[in-house]
A and B are shown apart, each in its own frame.
Chain A
């Protein structure tokens, strides 16, 4: 029974996850704590972990909650449920897309959407920067963070560094520098 509940809950979360980011965290919290699956404090921990580990937050939260409640089976059920809406909606849109993407109207629309994406990513950069700096204990750590971030920006944007290698180096730098 709890597997069915897990499935329905995370399917719902998947449906209402638009545009990613922090908007759906409130929804996830409400769904999970109101069912007594987790306390509010535990949820904050999960969000912290989900942000620091790779992968979409919704997927991370689903795997975590499912595993803590039921074990491996729960993790798989909750995770499948949270990605199912993606699969359905994207496949539906893809069909439509192949048919219409070369029409002039759609081309014009996308010519307007492309710069919007630039603005959205820029806004995300600002949000992630403020949240990260806010979470650090003192000015020295913040300065170090800004220096590392600038180095990665320069290397990836202008020197064709591999993003993966850059992140691995950042983790190592963190081990050495962030005391």
Chain B
């Protein structure tokens, strides 16, 4: 029982940290999720995290919230899902309530503004690192490289909605590996 509570506490703290340091949208948290979930706690493999991330983008809801619920549910069922969810949104709630309360003063603070500029630069670096890290796991053959580049172009220029890019990827993966499995592609 105490062990169980410890486990849930660790889950909460991990996602609290992830929520606290997720600046600039869900993608920036990939390196942090990998560290917390894969490296530090061994709760999932790198590939599982990638699959969860793809799923998190394909269903309604914010990416960070969806990822937390997925991982929490996978580890400890409904209770785990709720604990991870609470963990990931608690920092937002606390910080936004404080900011809403002192809204006017916050906007004018020059020091906060400077710190945020530094943070934004760091976020760029983190998202680039995320691209590199997941490319190492996810792009394993020439087919993968072509799909990754196509998805990049389709999404960067806003050609079709993200949901459709993912659906297209799934479809072409199914077709490609289905037809090439006899020829040893993987």
Which A residues are closer than 8 A to B by beta carbons?
A: 14-21, 23, 45, 49-60, 63-64, 67-68, 72, 75-76, 79, 82-83, 85-87, 89-91, 93-94, 97, 101, 105, 107-129, 132, 136, 141, 144-146, 148-153, 155-157, 162-164, 166-167, 169-175, 177-179
Contact = CB atoms under 8 A, between A and B. Distances in A.
A17 B61 contact: yes
Interface of B is mostly: helix
A101 B20 CA distance: 31
Contacts, number: 377
B25 A56 contact: yes
B117 to A, nearest CB: 4
A54 B173 contact: no
Contact of A89 (B59, B113, B124): B59
A81 B61 CA distance: 11
Given A20-B26, A116-B169, A121-B131, A97 B55 contact: yes
Given A111-B177, A167-B122, A116 B65 contact: no
A145 B124 contact: yes
Contact of A63 (B20, B73, B100, B125): B100
Contacts of B9: none
Contacts of B135: 118
A124 B165 CA distance: 14
Given A52-B119, A63-B93, A145-B121, A111 B126 contact: no
